[in-house]
Amino acid sequence: MTLFIKKLIRIIVLIATVHHAAGQPKILDRIIGIVGDKKVMQSELEEQYYNMLAQGMKDYPGLRCEVFEDLLSQKLLLNQAEIDSIMVTEPQVDLQLEQRMGFFVNQIGSEEKLTEYFNKSIVEIKEDLRDAIRDQLVTDKMRAEITGDINATPSEVRNFYESLPKDSIPYVNAEVELNQIVLYPPSSEEAVFEVRERLLDLRQRILEGENFATLAVLYSEGPSAPRGGDIGWSDKASLDPEYAKVAFSLKKGQVSKIVESSFGFHIIELLDRTGERVHTRHILMKPKITPEAKEEVMARLDSIVRLIRLDSLTFERAAMYFSEDPETRLNGGQVVNPNTGGTKFELDQFETEEYNIIHELEVGEISRVYEYQDKKGKTVYKVIRLKKKTVPHVANLKDDYSLLKMMAASDKQRRVVDSWIRERLKSTYVKINPDFRDCNFRISGWFK
């Protein structure tokens, strides 16, 4: 296991628990603060403090005090949420828990490696996380109640930018904006028939008593195959519509007939259901693409690019006419960064092959046709055009307005929450361990 993955897992998991992996010392615990009826433990402070160091933050005098004040603020928000009857549902907690566990397993490689590292079962790790996740969701909901739909106006963005000390203005790495045209090579009827026959055979073997999970490990072509096809708990919105329609119609333990989704062809088993969420596993298979189909798609893309280069068609219009990617076709092939919702990408966000292609392009230039796996694991062929490229620079209003607007809105929300905390402290019981009397907290009113 790499050091990065160890740190990544510890940063999140250890926030929730003072129980360490085998061989690691336990923190001697004590109460260091009380806010309303919520306690802040020494172990919480130490975990948060060391997690920040693990993330690369440099230690400095006062860091522990800053972490302590953040914890006190969280407890105040939790205490008020309880008074105001602001809650989250257990299905919401379960969903977040499953998403986190899925992330951990993907990063570390398998559930077995995760349990080995922490010397705990998956159930124990989940229980360690559950309360922390619930508290975080409630805290976020309470904070949202306080801030509402606060945003930053253009004048506020400018004032915020102009108020930043020069050494606090963010440094922006090289960024690019891209347009793309995407074509999917078609599967032959024979390939579809072959996949359906293989799945029918597997379904029959399961109905006759063979283990679904074992067959998923052996034959499924989805990322969940190493976990026996188990994709955890899901709601309808997080599943492909066709998959969801069948999954929610099954009875516990029932295996579906063949289901065609945007990912390929499946058979699904319902493991459990609670309310509007299902726990399923599946075996996924995708029809093979023939070399002839691939060559035909590449030739079509080459022809489209020739039309663009002859000025017979703009790239944007060609994308609208020919691209088969529903997410970018209608906006002229403009690619949107899923992490930010904006159109800019840092180069290191791309996988090696795409990085090398983009890195070699000049602004306005169109790439060669290349093969790629989309986010659903399907083979596609595409060309990209480098629309814009920036060099590494200190952020400015012209080129980085979206970034600065987000920062200004965040600062405005923070000030609103700080003001709320100051007011709420006047009527809330707070007791802080005398060992922390020297802390110079950002918000006044903690010491009474």
Least confident of 16-25, 83-92, 221-230: 16-25
* Per-residue pLDDT, 28: 64
User: For residue 39, which of 79, 86, 11, 12 has the smallest C-alpha distance?
Assistant: 79
The predicted structure's pLDDT at residue 16? 43
Burial 407-428, CB ≥16 within 10 A → b, else e = bbbeebbeeebeebbeebbeeb
Mean per-residue pLDDT for 237-255? 94
- At a CB cut-off of 8 Å and minimum separation 6, what does 158 contact? 397
Mean of per-residue pLDDT scores for the chain: 88
Q: What percent of the chain has pLDDT over 70?
A: 93
pTM of the predicted model over 0.85? no
d(CA 319, CA 317): 5
Model confidence at 10: pLDDT above 80: no
Cα 166 from Cα 396, distance rounded (Å): 11
Per-residue pLDDT of 95-135, as tens digits, reads 888 778 777 776 776 777 888 877 888 888 888 888 889 99
Residue 145 and residue 86: Cα distance in Å, rounded?
Answer: 9
Q: What domains are defined for the chain? A: 3-151+410-436 (1.10.4030.10), 175-186+290-391 (3.10.50.40), 189-285 (3.10.50.40)
